[in-house]
Amino acid sequence: MTSAELAHLTSLNDRISLQDVQEVYVPMLDYFDVYFKKHIELHTEEQQFLNQQKKTVPFIIGVSGSVAVGKSTTARLMQTMLQQRYPSKRVALMTTDGFLLPTKELIQRGILDRKGFPESYDMEALVHFLLEVKTGNPSVDAPVYSHEIYDIVPGEVQTIESPDILIVEGINVLQLPPNREIYVSDFFDWSIFVDADATLIEQWYLERFELLMDRAKSQPDNYYYQYAIGNRADAIAMAKDVWKKTNLKNLKEYILPTKTRADFILHKTVGHHIDFVQIKKY
């Protein structure tokens, strides 16, 4: 992998180095390979035992962590590296943002200020999507979310077609919402949690907010345009308030408690550097 390829995969204001790829991601995927081979072996033998027609059972990976911690970079980098490692396999990536309720519905329910909290997602639709993928439906559609309009894109879908490996990225993928018989994580064969100190994540969140404002200055249809053309200090103060009342609260109450459910934890420190990893020991 070249520096240019890596830069293309890196999210806005995130950072990752070729050294991280070599020292962290390559060994992590070597470790993943053990699970993937066992997955194929298990389902092949199971289908033979039950006298079922041989078919691919997708291996699903969950990637979780806070807003602005770098989940998307991790997910995209994994997709690229897995596709390189298994060139004959189909590796797909989707985000659970598409299963957020539309802004209009969030307003109707009076929970716009809780966007990202468990109740702001259509969890039934997300579970149904994963069930369709896992049970071999050859083509499954997922709604699409745009950070530019800060809402679900009407009429647009992402189609997932018969993946061998599916990476599902989102803050909610390891959560166990009450009053449900099936959880999103029930469909996962492996999971990763991207972790960092909350004070650092706040810094990265605010950095990203300012960059998004800068990019939106000439885009009236962009959600961040309203902040880009207004008083910058007021906009930053608003973002700090959103972090404290929404994102930090969500992190502490609903996201961090799921960390120990992950199979693999990537911990990041100053400059987005990965300083250590943790592997679940059974």
Tell whether residue 191 is among the known ligand binding residues.
Answer: no
- For 121, the 3-state DSSP assignment is strand
Tell whether residue 139 is among the known ligand binding residues.
Answer: no
- For 155, the 3-state DSSP assignment is strand
Distance of CA 94 to the CA centre of its chain: 8
Do 174 and 242 contact (CB within 8 A), yes or no?
no
Tell whether residue 173 is among the known ligand binding residues.
Answer: no
Tell whether residue 67 is among the known ligand binding residues.
Answer: yes
Tell whether residue 71 is among the known ligand binding residues.
Answer: yes
Amino acid of residue 48: Q
Tell whether residue 157 is among the known ligand binding residues.
Answer: no
In 50-172, which residue ranges form alpha helices assigned H by DSSP?
A: 71-85, 103-109, 123-134
Tell whether residue 136 is among the known ligand binding residues.
Answer: no
* Strand ranges (E), the chain: 59-65, 91-95, 139-146, 151-161, 165-169, 190-196, 264-268, 274-279
Q: Tell me the C-alpha distance between 142 and 126, whole Å.
A: 8
Count CA atoms within 13 Å of residue 211 on its CB side: 12
Count CA atoms within 13 Å of residue 108 on its CB side: 5
Q: Tell me the C-alpha distance between 73 and 9, whole Å.
A: 6
Tell whether residue 92 is among the known ligand binding residues.
Answer: no
Provide CB contacts within 8 A for 88, sequence distance 6+: none
Do 180 and 121 contact (CB within 8 A), yes or no?
no
Residues annotated within the binding site for ATP are: 65-72
Residue ranges of the binding site:
65-72
